[in-house]
């Protein structure tokens, strides 16, 4: 019998997302090669080959693609012009479009609206004068965000009064977007994977943030089943209508029985890390199955699950928890060599646990 050829997945980025993609690729029998500017990138510990280079190094990106059968990205800010050129020559299977649509908040919001997802009201802002005009139309409170490169609460400010306009000046050094402030009840997210025909969606998670960074994801999200189904179905339809393939995570604001598109990411998402133990398959595995031309698996919830994001200030507590070896408590430490208070260092997944049970039993173990 002819031996099946082992495929190599190229990953642009070697952070924790790259590490978890590598873990699942190995379980599926694939090789991996990662590119990252950091010599100590977490994914380098497990991938078969790696390239140390900047994300905007054309020669290095070309070398990654040359060594790979299929290429993906775990990092949104890959320069678009470079990726477009590479897509013409190599198998960058998700394509450029979902990355392009997500790289600019104005373009992202327009795209969401054009494909049927309600959004907060918004307007482009380029200077102090256009900011005042936009505020006059949208009203206080509102949120000023840079159009590109913002993440984890960076690059944005809530404006509640005229006094906040002056303090927002430094953001206006780059093009911005002003958004209506939605007094939402909570945020929820959906992770989906599409092969162009089938779209599989993971159970909806409820997200709790602290200082703009995800702290907890609680699954299933506590909301009426009809609302949860509507969110999932809109996500499926959006991926189909946009022609997106591969993985996509969408964050929604939930207010009453209304949902609003907040933002999206065409890569595995922090709010989907719980799927490794809390679902019958996980976001990294399904991305790899797509990349390797394998049929997708419809995920199912194993049990109510809580994921706790571990930042630098909680790393010691997470490591202590790992040593205690509690059943159904899964500690993931990413192996980053430098720990900082707000840097993502790992996550802990509590399977078979509700949000209330987590608050009563485990919350005090971590910094509040």
φ/ψ (deg, to 5) at 121: -60, 150
Do 232 and 155 share a structural domain? Answer: no
Residue 172, domain member (yes or no): yes
Do 346 and 314 share a structural domain? Answer: yes
Residue ending a domain, choose from 180, 200, 225: 180
Instruction: Find the mean pLDDT for residues 32-52.
Output: 98
For residue 23, what pLDDT is reported? Answer: 98
In percent, how much of the chain has pLDDT > 90?
A: 90
Contact 248, 257 (CB under 8 A): no
φ/ψ (deg, to 5) at 36: -160, 145
Residue 353, domain member (yes or no): yes
Do 322 and 247 share a structural domain? Answer: yes
φ/ψ (deg, to 5) at 292: -95, 10
Least confident of 141-150, 200-209, 243-252, 324-333: 141-150
300: exposed, middle or buried (Cβ count in 10 Å: 0-12, 13-18, 19+): exposed
| Residue 68 clears pLDDT 80, i.e. is over it | yes
Look up the CATH number of the domain holding residue 60. Answer: 3.40.50.20
- State the residue range of the domain holding 66: 8-92
Residue ending a domain, choose from 180, 214, 248: 180
| Residue 152 clears pLDDT 60, i.e. is over it | no
Do 78 and 211 share a structural domain? Answer: no
Q: Confidence class of residue 81 from pLDDT cuts 50, 70 and 90?
A: confident
Q: CA 345 to CA 265: how far, in whole Å?
A: 20
Domain count, the chain: 3
Q: Confidence class of residue 269 from pLDDT cuts 50, 70 and 90?
A: very high
Q: Distance from CA of residue 92 to its chain's centroid? A: 19
Instruction: Find the mean pLDDT for residues 25-46.
Output: 98
Do 79 and 138 share a structural domain? Answer: no
Do 81 and 171 share a structural domain? Answer: no
pTM of the model: 0.95
Q: Confidence class of residue 1 from pLDDT cuts 50, 70 and 90?
A: very low
Residue ending a domain, choose from 180, 200, 226: 180
- The total of other beta-carbon atoms located within 10 Å of residue 182's CB is 18
| Residue 255 clears pLDDT 50, i.e. is over it | yes
Residue 32, domain member (yes or no): yes
For residue 154, what pLDDT is reported? Answer: 67
Residue 113, domain member (yes or no): no
User: How far apart, in Å, are the Cα atoms of 314 and each of 331, 340, 367?
Assistant: 12, 10, 6
User: How far apart, in Å, are the Cα atoms of 134 and each of 111, 121, 156?
Assistant: 20, 10, 16
Q: Which of 96, 15, 146 is nearest to 266 (CA)?
A: 96
Do 167 and 213 share a structural domain? Answer: no
* Arithmetic mean of pLDDT over the chain: 95
236: exposed, middle or buried (Cβ count in 10 Å: 0-12, 13-18, 19+): middle
Residue 282, domain member (yes or no): yes
Contact 247, 262 (CB under 8 A): no
Q: CA 309 to CA 265: how far, in whole Å?
A: 18
Do 153 and 253 share a structural domain? Answer: no
Do 303 and 274 share a structural domain? Answer: yes
Cis peptide bond upstream of 199, omega within 30: no
Q: How does pLDDT run across 89-123, given as a tens digit for each residue?
A: 999 999 999 999 999 999 999 999 999 999 999 99
Give 60's DSSP letter.
Answer: H
Do 212 and 195 share a structural domain? Answer: yes
Residue 220, domain member (yes or no): yes
Q: Confidence class of residue 155 from pLDDT cuts 50, 70 and 90?
A: confident
Residue 103, domain member (yes or no): no
Q: How does pLDDT run across 271-311, given as a tens digit for each residue?
A: 999 999 999 999 999 999 999 999 999 999 999 999 999 99
Cis peptide bond upstream of 141, omega within 30: yes
Contact 359, 283 (CB under 8 A): no
For residue 169, what pLDDT is reported? Answer: 81
Look up the CATH number of the domain holding residue 148. Answer: 3.30.1490.20
Residue 211, domain member (yes or no): yes
| Residue 150 clears pLDDT 90, i.e. is over it | no
Contact 141, 135 (CB under 8 A): no
Q: Where are the beta strands (DSSP E) in the chain?
A: 8-12, 31-36, 49-52, 70-73, 122-125, 142-146, 156-159, 176-180, 186-194, 199-201, 205-210, 213-219, 246-255, 258-265, 305-311, 329-333, 344-351
In percent, how much of the chain has pLDDT > 70?
A: 98
φ/ψ (deg, to 5) at 147: -75, -25
Do 33 and 135 share a structural domain? Answer: no
Least confident of 132-146, 152-166, 196-210, 345-359: 152-166
Relative orientation angle of helices 16-27 and 283-291, to the nearest 10 degrees: 60
Do 190 and 280 share a structural domain? Answer: yes
Look up the CATH number of the domain holding residue 294. Answer: 3.30.470.20
H/E element holding 228?
helix 225-242
């Amino acid at each position: 019998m002819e031996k099946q050829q082992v495929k190599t997945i190229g990953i642009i980025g070697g952070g924790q997302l790259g590490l978890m993609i590598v873990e699942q690729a190995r379980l599926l029998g694939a090789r991996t090669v990662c590119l990252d500017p950091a010599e100590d990138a977490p994914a380098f510990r497990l991938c078969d080959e790696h390239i140390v280079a900047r994300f905007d190094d054309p020669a290095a990106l070309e070398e990654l693609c040359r060594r790979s059968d299929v290429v993906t990205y775990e990092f949104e800010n890959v320069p678009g012009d470079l990726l477009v050129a590479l897509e013409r020559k190599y198998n960058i299977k998700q394509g450029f479009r979902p990355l392009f649509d997500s790289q600019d908040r104005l373009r992202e919001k327009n795209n969401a609206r054009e494909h049927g997802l309600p959004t907060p009201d918004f307007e482009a802002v380029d200077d102090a004068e256009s900011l005042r005009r936009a505020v006059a139309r949208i009203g206080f409170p509102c949120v000023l965000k840079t159009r590109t490169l913002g993440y984890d609460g960076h690059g944005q400010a809530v404006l509640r009064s005229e006094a906040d306009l002056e303090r927002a000046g430094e953001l206006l050094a780059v093009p911005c977007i002003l958004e209506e402030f939605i007094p939402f009840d909570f945020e929820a997210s959906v992770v989906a994977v599409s092969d162009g025909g089938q779209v599989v969606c993971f159970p909806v998670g409820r997200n709790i943030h602290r200082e703009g960074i995800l702290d907890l994801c609680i699954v299933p999200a506590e909301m009426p089943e009809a609302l949860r189904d509507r969110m999932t179905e809109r996500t499926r339809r959006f991926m189909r209508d946009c022609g997106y393939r591969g993985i996509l995570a969408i964050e929604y604001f939930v207010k009453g029985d209304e949902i609003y598109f907040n933002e999206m990411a065409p890569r595995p998402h922090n709010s989907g890390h719980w799927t490794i133990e809390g679902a019958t398959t996980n976001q990294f595995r399904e991305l790899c199955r797509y990349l390797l031309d394998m049929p997708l698996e419809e995920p199912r919830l194993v049990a109510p699950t809580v994921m706790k994001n571990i930042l630098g200030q909680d790393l010691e507590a997470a490591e202590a928890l790992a040593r205690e070896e509690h059943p159904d408590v899964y500690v993931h430490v990413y192996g980053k060599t430098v720990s900082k208070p707000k840097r993502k260092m790992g996550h802990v997944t509590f399977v078979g646990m509700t949000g209330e049970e987590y608050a009563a039993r485990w919350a005090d173990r971590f910094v509040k």
